[in-house]
Structure 1
């Protein structure tokens, strides 16, 4: 999850600043897919270099206007469905406009392009085609009052300028078609279907497509001619009522739903280009004019400037995802035909999911791989997963025009995931090394001179003479022993006993290590754990919690074990020990030594007499408030002259009133009477505990002793019990 979140945020941030997904991802998908066949309905009559020469008009667009009437008549004879001019007819030419208007009106299927002028603050910074900009420089907005004061730099105005009145009144329809400015040198990826900044005016390709459907009988929505006005009204109704498209949607055909989506949906779409320039069928203007172009019946013929040879620096030519040094830029008329073809096919480039969702999912999946598989295998698996995702994205794009993000996942998220996983594994490695060093420092300090001061170093050449063979520390020892181990072992084969003990010591080891202890020694059914180099209260608290959790874990183990129960007794004692090494028979061994270790083992053995599970010397539990404990008496254990005052560790403190608090107070009172030699009163107290509170093993032990001592009091009684056995 961390890898997914970090890579998503960094990738999204870089994509936001550099537009990486469009400039690299989408363009790469187009180039990998290559060209695809455009619909045959669209044909371009290109005002190309050959036509300029053969018709003697050169590059002056005003000289072409006198030829358009003849071109329209020729297309009428060929049976063209619609004739679309991607040209400006703004400046009147009285000598030819009357004949051209008459021909246009007679044809009844001609559509013209409106110019859109965009400018800032007053009359400065015009954007638009030459005729539009040069002949319409009056401000679109004015300030009241001081007319000479300039308008705000932030104010951007747009307006639509139609063809000369003589021509506009004769056409079937007209609408604007705007692409990015040449001077911006930007790649055209998106086009407008509606210009909401121009009062919801539809773009010319949308108007052409719906007129084409109407002529073919596929449009039955009751719109009057010209369609552009009705489309504007429908768009406004959609924007004022967001649920308009949902009305009766189940009763509409797929085509009607597509029309509704274009009218009421987003005002821009990503073009699904068919290939580099000249992918569409392109006939020379002169060939069409002279009747040399065949098979134009029921075709939509787009007429506009389109050079056959790439020529840099000319206006109305634009970069596309396929633009390179060989193909050159694409003419605006071919981009118009591309948008019409996308509308006819019902296929634009679109994202099937919110862009962030695939990126988060990709980051999570790669993170899952890198955290489950380490090293080379994780790298290889994540690389294969990235390749599979790239293949999926390419397949969806090629087949359906669906655009899944590829640049951010492959170029950013994947290497970032590798870097994060590497850093994380390095961190884990250093933490593991620190844990091992701490263990060695506490248990086997004689090895420390071998260990590296930093990763990558090792000192095996240092001799044993340079190493310390012993270390004196203050430690807290935890000793365990299995009750009735001999009888359990007699019932199993050595291998069965080994399997049982292996599982048993795994259960014992986890509470020790989770509370910062180390296992110093395991011999048969006994284990010794140590807490070293911690402050006294901290290591006492950790050791007591570990003892309680060992007791609970063993109880769970015994409930599920099918090989036999291994009830465990635990003893805790604190004091000075020696961590040392020695040799025997040529082999070196490392162990904790000292009276503290032996005393912990003897305290563990006292559990056998009291019927308890965890005993500790009084000093271990003296200052702890997080555990529940009670004093259980003073004892002289075998091999020691000094008395040990012991407490029973019962459980973790819950923070509330302990339900056994009354029992513990009664026991403490009975123990005090017992130690004072008041056997009869002590006997009454312990008997009362058993009657009122049920079984309590220490109370039963002292009850039996009190009864025996009442009959035969011990000589020289000092309140200390002497145990002659382990």
Structure 2
């Protein structure tokens, strides 16, 4: 990660973490995330084991009773219990409270007693006691009226908020001695064998004195099943490592029912569980109260072995508006039909039955996802590539949303998506556009200050439009400079007439100009047989430096293809360097020329002249060739103090393109490097032997011949030159 991308990356990561941490105050994720995920997923089938018997407006009309369930005679409920019991329902839970006495309580109680499998909902009363400046909150359970409460198998509360969307329910009430809620109690009673197995595993994992007591008796029909649940829950809460210890024992419990794992997660989890809704209202299979008698006779298998929840569940929004026992959920729609309380209880039971409650991502994992997403977007927004960061910026949200939906659908795991997609991503897009605009503006300014794409014709047109500002028509910037010079041009000019010489130069420059233009450069100056070409390049990008090297090799290849003896086949020396330079008009008063000036231009020219000394064709500064070894065959040939300069320049020879064909040069380059290292360390004899061996194989190798002569001079005259110091070049 570069320093340019570090700022945006950290900004987006911190923004995401802040939005995620402020969830209690600004519930973006919890209010929008589930609705989007449930809508995208759609309805899914609930388990077959759960059924809802609905007290609805059609049943009230069929019985000639009021719509309000509290006004129904309890003898009617007694008949329902008898019908469900006869049809083989395994467990029945009434999402109704029976707190006041009526004339037919005894009939209802007898029916409950005979069935022995009915749970009742108890209300939970909260009292606030104040004394002085202190206060205490006391929760008290209000069970059903005497005979009914005594005849029921068990009772438990199921409290839902009326003024907010229902996304979760409480599993155990810690403030009420770990009291289980109705769906949790029903699940335990529905799977007594799993509860017995969990009790045994819990005692094996953490043996205590009460493990030998009556609470640990492996009987599903213990006198007080809710007490056993509270006992289990208290053990998991008291010992944080208890769940892991029980899970380690699970593989050895070969006959343990699969529901044991669900019970472990339930007891080890928090006091609130998120609801994994199956769909809109009545997604859980629902049977009208009035149809139970007929269906029990005609289709007893519909109820056999089922968990049956009984409660108010209206078919229309009008009935819901009159009784208000419905709750707003993620599936509430414009029709106004919300999910009833009894169906929410059935949904909670169904989630446990399937082992698929909605599980939010762990806080640490969620924070890592949000922060990592912000870092990724920040890096992309600051990347200077032309098109692919924008493409990735457009595709990544789709990929994250798809992954989140897949995990949500298949594993019921809830990833935080709202903050990454609706907070971080829009900010990242805005940041990307702003950074691109700023970069483009800077590039335009740089173009105004530098020479890129600033050809002489364009300058001439600009100067023609503003001749008064001709002296100020210049730019300063970073670039790559190529200086060339033809070998033996003076001798050629001496023996040719001017007309023929001009035609020869035109043919010669045609071989030079085409590779320069093809590789993105442009010719700024031509004097006699010398050419100066330029490439635009930001200092930290190698593209222009690589293009200049490609052009230099292409020039040598084009000249080598000339027929022998052709006047245009002039051997050419090339020097390459990069750096800051001023390009524009140079002159005064009535005469101006378009020139590039600066140390980069001068150094390139000196490197071109160094070719003559070393017997080479293409030389470049090490600064110019930095980072290009994977593209070109580069041979370091030493450090030289060029004519007119004080600081030495490390010089490399550009020998060709890297690749399979260049592998044969590896041994030659290694041997040359060893010999040069021996020379620079003062071991003249050893270096001379190395260069001599190379010359026997490659007698035309200019740098080897040069250093062989240097070694000979050094051996004959030790004061000739200190090889540890850069070589002074006396003339071009």
Report the TM range for the smaller structure's normalisation: 0.5 to 0.7
Instruction: Give the match's secondary structure for 1:386.
Output: helix
Given the superposition, is the C-alpha separation of residues 520 and 346 from structure 1 closer, same or farther in structure 2, using an over 3 Å criterion? same
Given the superposition, is the C-alpha separation of residues 194 and 462 from structure 1 closer, same or farther in structure 2, using an over 3 Å criterion? farther
Instruction: Give the match's secondary structure for 2:155.
Output: strand
Instruction: State the Cα distance separating 1:692 from its structure 2 match.
Output: 8.1
Instruction: Give the match's secondary structure for 1:163.
Output: coil
Given the superposition, is the C-alpha separation of residues 445 and 75 from structure 1 closer, same or farther in structure 2, using an over 3 Å criterion? same
Instruction: State the Cα distance separating 1:19 from its structure 2 match.
Output: 2.3
Q: Is 1:243 aligned to residue 241 of structure 2?
A: yes
Q: Distance in 1 between matches of 2:646 and 2:324?
A: 96
Instruction: State the Cα distance separating 1:205 from its structure 2 match.
Output: 0.8
Instruction: State the Cα distance separating 1:68 from its structure 2 match.
Output: 2.4
1:256 corresponds to: 260
1:454 corresponds to: none
Instruction: State the Cα distance separating 1:41 from its structure 2 match.
Output: 1.6
Given the superposition, is the C-alpha separation of residues 497 and 690 from structure 1 closer, same or farther in structure 2, using an over 3 Å criterion? farther
Q: 2:408 aligns with which of 393, 397, 403?
A: 397
Q: From the CA coordinates, give the structure whose radius of gyration is larger.
A: 1
Instruction: State the Cα distance separating 1:340 from its structure 2 match.
Output: 0.5
Q: Distance in 1 between matches of 2:119 and 2:295?
A: 21
Q: 2:358 aligns with which of 349, 353, 375?
A: 349
Instruction: Give the match's secondary structure for 1:425.
Output: helix
Q: 1:166 aligns with which of 147, 162, 177?
A: 147
1:265 corresponds to: 269
Spell out the pairing of 1:53-202 with structure 2 (5 A cutoff): 53=61, 54-59=63-68, 61=70, 63-91=72-100, 93=101, 95-118=103-126, 122=128, 139=129, 142-143=130-131, 149=132, 151=134, 157-180=138-161, 182=162, 184=163, 186-202=164-180
Conservation of the 8 A alpha-carbon contact between 1:117 and 1:158: yes
Given the superposition, is the C-alpha separation of residues 486 and 319 from structure 1 closer, same or farther in structure 2, using an over 3 Å criterion? farther
Given the superposition, is the C-alpha separation of residues 309 and 699 from structure 1 closer, same or farther in structure 2, using an over 3 Å criterion? closer
Instruction: Give the match's secondary structure for 2:125.
Output: strand
Instruction: Give the match's secondary structure for 2:37.
Output: helix
Instruction: State the Cα distance separating 1:604 from its structure 2 match.
Output: 11
Instruction: State the Cα distance separating 1:380 from its structure 2 match.
Output: 5.1
Q: Is 1:27 aligned to residue 22 of structure 2?
A: no
Q: Distance in 2 between matches of 1:172 and 1:287?
A: 25
Instruction: State the Cα distance separating 1:208 from its structure 2 match.
Output: 0.6
Instruction: Give the match's secondary structure for 2:445.
Output: helix
Q: Distance in 1 between matches of 2:241 and 2:333?
A: 44
Given the superposition, is the C-alpha separation of residues 249 and 373 from structure 1 closer, same or farther in structure 2, using an over 3 Å criterion? farther
Number of residue equivalences: 568
Q: Distance in 2 between matches of 1:56 and 1:603?
A: 106
Instruction: State the Cα distance separating 1:370 from its structure 2 match.
Output: 5.9
Given the superposition, is the C-alpha separation of residues 81 and 268 from structure 1 closer, same or farther in structure 2, using an over 3 Å criterion? same
2:710 corresponds to: none
Q: Distance in 1 between matches of 2:475 and 2:418?
A: 59
Given the superposition, is the C-alpha separation of residues 171 and 444 from structure 1 closer, same or farther in structure 2, using an over 3 Å criterion? same
Instruction: Give the match's secondary structure for 2:92.
Output: strand
Gaps of 5+ in 2: 200-217, 493-506, 540-544, 561-570, 614-618, 621-638, 651-681, 683-713
Structure 1 residues 435-462: Cα deviation after superposition (integer angstroms, max 9, x where no partner)? 2222259x99998998xxxxxxxxx697
Q: Is 1:39 aligned to residue 47 of structure 2?
A: yes
1:304 corresponds to: 311
Gaps of 5+ in 1: 123-138, 144-148, 451-459, 510-518, 530-541, 543-549, 615-628, 638-643, 652-662, 664-686, 703-722
- Once the two structures are overlaid, the 10-residue window that deviates more, 5-14 or 408-417, is 5-14
Conservation of the 8 A alpha-carbon contact between 2:574 and 2:608: no
Given the superposition, is the C-alpha separation of residues 299 and 598 from structure 1 closer, same or farther in structure 2, using an over 3 Å criterion? closer
Instruction: Give the match's secondary structure for 1:39.
Output: coil
Given the superposition, is the C-alpha separation of residues 605 and 108 from structure 1 closer, same or farther in structure 2, using an over 3 Å criterion? closer
Spell out the pairing of 1:651-666 with structure 2 (5 A cutoff): none
Q: Is 1:277 aligned to residue 285 of structure 2?
A: no
2:15 corresponds to: 10
Q: Distance in 1 between matches of 2:237 and 2:112?
A: 35
Q: Distance in 2 between matches of 1:270 and 1:203?
A: 14
Instruction: Give the match's secondary structure for 1:325.
Output: coil
Q: Is 1:212 aligned to residue 190 of structure 2?
A: yes
Instruction: State the Cα distance separating 1:418 from its structure 2 match.
Output: 1.9
Instruction: State the Cα distance separating 1:308 from its structure 2 match.
Output: 2.1
1:146 corresponds to: none
Structure 1 residues 179-201: Cα deviation after superposition (integer angstroms, max 9, x where no partner)? 11x1x2x1111122222232322
1:433 corresponds to: 444
Spell out the pairing of 1:326-725 with structure 2 (5 A cutoff): 326-351=335-360, 354-363=365-374, 379=390, 381-439=392-450, 463-469=465-471, 579-580=586-587, 590-591=594-595, 647=646, 691=718, 695=722
Instruction: Give the match's secondary structure for 1:88.
Output: coil
Given the superposition, is the C-alpha separation of residues 648 and 269 from structure 1 closer, same or farther in structure 2, using an over 3 Å criterion? closer
Q: Distance in 1 between matches of 2:228 and 2:195?
A: 18
- Once the two structures are overlaid, the 10-residue window that deviates more, 385-394 or 23-32, is 385-394
Given the superposition, is the C-alpha separation of residues 233 and 599 from structure 1 closer, same or farther in structure 2, using an over 3 Å criterion? closer
Structure 1 residues 246-302: Cα deviation after superposition (integer angstroms, max 9, x where no partner)? 222443554322221111123222211111112222223233367767432212111
Q: Distance in 1 between matches of 2:194 and 2:728?
A: 106
Q: Distance in 2 between matches of 1:279 and 1:499?
A: 77
Q: Distance in 1 between matches of 2:393 and 2:576?
A: 50
Given the superposition, is the C-alpha separation of residues 176 and 444 from structure 1 closer, same or farther in structure 2, using an over 3 Å criterion? same
Q: Distance in 2 between matches of 1:225 and 1:165?
A: 17
* TM-score normalised by L of structure 2: 0.61
Instruction: State the Cα distance separating 1:99 from its structure 2 match.
Output: 3.8
Instruction: Give the match's secondary structure for 2:122.
Output: strand
Conservation of the 8 A alpha-carbon contact between 2:157 and 2:181: yes
Conservation of the 8 A alpha-carbon contact between 1:304 and 1:333: yes
Given the superposition, is the C-alpha separation of residues 522 and 169 from structure 1 closer, same or farther in structure 2, using an over 3 Å criterion? farther
Given the superposition, is the C-alpha separation of residues 65 and 352 from structure 1 closer, same or farther in structure 2, using an over 3 Å criterion? same
Instruction: Give the match's secondary structure for 2:349.
Output: helix
* TM-score normalised by L of structure 1: 0.62
Structure 1 residues 544-577: Cα deviation after superposition (integer angstroms, max 9, x where no partner)? xxxxxx9xx99xx99xx9999989799x9x99x9
Q: Is 1:203 aligned to residue 204 of structure 2?
A: no
Instruction: State the Cα distance separating 1:61 from its structure 2 match.
Output: 0.7
Conservation of the 8 A alpha-carbon contact between 1:210 and 1:219: no
